[in-house]
Every structure is written in structure tokens, then in C-alpha cells.
Chains A and B, each alone.
Chain A
Amino acid sequence: MSDWNVTVTYRGTLDRETTRAIAEALVNRDGIAANTPDGRFSVAITSHFGGDKAAGDALDTINKALMASGVGSVEPIAVEAMEYDEYERRVREPDYPELMSAGEVAEALGVSRQRVHQLAVDHSDFPAPLYELSAGKLWTAEAIRGFRHHWTRKPGRKPARIA
């Protein structure tokens, strides 16, 4: 059975000495204690058990470390447990979208920058920009690639209108 990662969240914040004391108490379990911006702290460790057993093992182990480091007995408000490979995949994954400016959209679609703006007007299914700034629009690369996938390109200029 593969190892699991378990992250347990609690209410409250920790000072420097306490985050270190908890991490040192859990060094054999790869432990890290950290504050989050919303007045909570979390402790993450490795468990050699899987599933429900991983969560139970982690809660017990972390509780002992919290007691030993002077935090005392605190009730967890969230427990997240997952197979280690999945945890590592999530850690490596960027947590923000890849963005493209008009120049990069033009490059991705093989058109000019002017044509990008024209496409946005002509095609109701052209992706909406994520940001519209004074410096220009920014799209998510994922949306642009999606558009490129189903876009039926019609080469050549539009025929001139005859009055």
C-alpha cells in the first residue's frame, strides 16, 4: 500500500517557536505546521496507512505533537487525506491560470493581432477575456486553446460589399 498525506486544519494561529516545535516533533513524518491567512493553522504529515486509517493515525499523531509543543488539546475543523501521488501532483500543479495577451493569442491562432480583436467581435463563442486592463485584454490560455480546437478557419479576405 502506498503512503498517504494527511493535512489537518485547526482554528487559531501559531507563533514561530510553536510551528518549529510541532514540525520537529513530527520530523519523522515529514511534518510541517503553518498558519493560513484566515486565522487558522494546518499540520501536514505522511501516514503509512491508507484511507480512513490514515486520517485516524494522523489525528492521533498530530494531537500528541500539539500537546508536546504546548498548544494543548484542540479540535480539528478539517481533515484532508489523499494518496501521496495525488498529493504530490496537486503540490506541483500551478494554482493560477496561464494567461495570454492579444499578441500571444495571435501567435496561438496563427493570425494578426488585429484579427484577434476582429474574431472577438465576429465570433460569439470567442472566449471572454479574464481581465480587461488599460494595457489590453488577457485571456486564459485554456480558453484560447479550446477555441482553436473547434474554430473553423475560413482563409482569405471577406468579399467586398457591393453597394
Chain B
Amino acid sequence: MGDDIDKLVKWARSQMWTVERDGSNHYQFANPHGDHVTDYPSTPSSQRRWHNLVAALKKAGLRWPPPSKKEQRAQRRKEQ
């Protein structure tokens, strides 16, 4: 699960989300407008809680899972 959260945090930051780890070892997710979305412990208790986090972030606009390298290239071309 640790690898998953690291991957999610890295991807969210690449999409202009702000992800901060606070003093209680919780991740704070904010969307690209800076609006707080949710909070998640860095040592989550269950896989199901992870699923609920992913569902919540998707609902808040984060694309997940990250597209393949090929799709990311296409996305970059789209943005040019």
C-alpha cells in the first residue's frame, strides 16, 4: 500500500494538486485551485480505505490510474 500512496501522491502533484504531509503523518490533498479535498493517514488501516480515498479523489477531478506513457505523450501533444 505504501508504494501505491507514493505513486498517487507523485501523480497528484504532477497534476498540480497540493499534497502535504502534516505533523500527524496525514496527507492533506488539495485540488489545483487550492481547495481542500480530503485527508488520509500515511499508514492506512485497510485496503478498503485506500479504495475510498481513490474514489474520493476521482470524484474531485483527479484522473486515476495515471495514463500509460503513450497516453501521457498524447496528452502533452494535446496541450501544446
The digit string for A15-38, where 1 denotes a CB below 8 A from any CB of B, is 110011001000100111111110
Question: Among the listed stretches A49-57, A109-117, A133-141, A152-160, which one makes contact with chain B, having 4 or more residues with CB under 8 Å of it?
Answer: A133-141
Contacts of A31 in B (CB 8 A): 49, 52
Instruction: Let me know if A32 and B31 touch, CB within 8 A.
Output: no
CB of B14 closer than 8 Å to a CB of A: no
Q: In whole angstroms, what is the CA distance A133 to B79 when docked?
A: 9
Asked if B69 is at the interface of the complex by the 8 Å CB criterion, the answer is no
Given A20-B26, A134-B80, do A32 and B59 touch, yes or no (CB 8 Å)?
Answer: no
| Distance in Å: Cβ of A143 to nearest Cβ of chain B | 14
| Residue A151 is within 8 A (CB to CB) of chain B in the complex | no
Interface string of B60-80 (1 = CB under 8 A from A): 110111011011001101101
Q: A142 to chain B: closest CB distance in Å?
A: 13
User: In this assembly, does B40 line the interface, its C-beta being within 8 Å of a C-beta of chain A?
Assistant: yes
Contact, CB under 8 Å: A32 / B56: yes
Q: Closest residue to B77 on the A side, CB-wise? A: A135
A92 to B4, CA, bound (A): 12
Q: How far is the CA of A27 from the CA of B58 in the complex (A)?
A: 21
Ordered nearest first, which 8 A-B pairs have the shortest CB separation?
A34-B56, A34-B38, A32-B52, A30-B48, A30-B49, A44-B52, A135-B77, A20-B39
Residues of A within 8 A of B (CB): 5, 7, 13-16, 19-20, 23, 27, 30-37, 42, 44-46, 84, 87-88, 90-92, 94-96, 98-101, 104, 131, 133-136, 138
User: Apart from A16-B39, A27-B49, A100-B74, what 20 extra A-B contacts exist at CB < 8 Å?
Assistant: A5-B51, A13-B35, A19-B38, A20-B39, A23-B39, A30-B48, A32-B40, A33-B38, A34-B57, A37-B31, A42-B59, A44-B56, A90-B55, A94-B64, A99-B74, A101-B77, A131-B78, A135-B77, A135-B78, A138-B74
Residues of B within 8 A of A (CB): 26, 28, 31, 35-40, 45-46, 48-49, 51-61, 63-65, 67-68, 70-71, 74-75, 77-78, 80
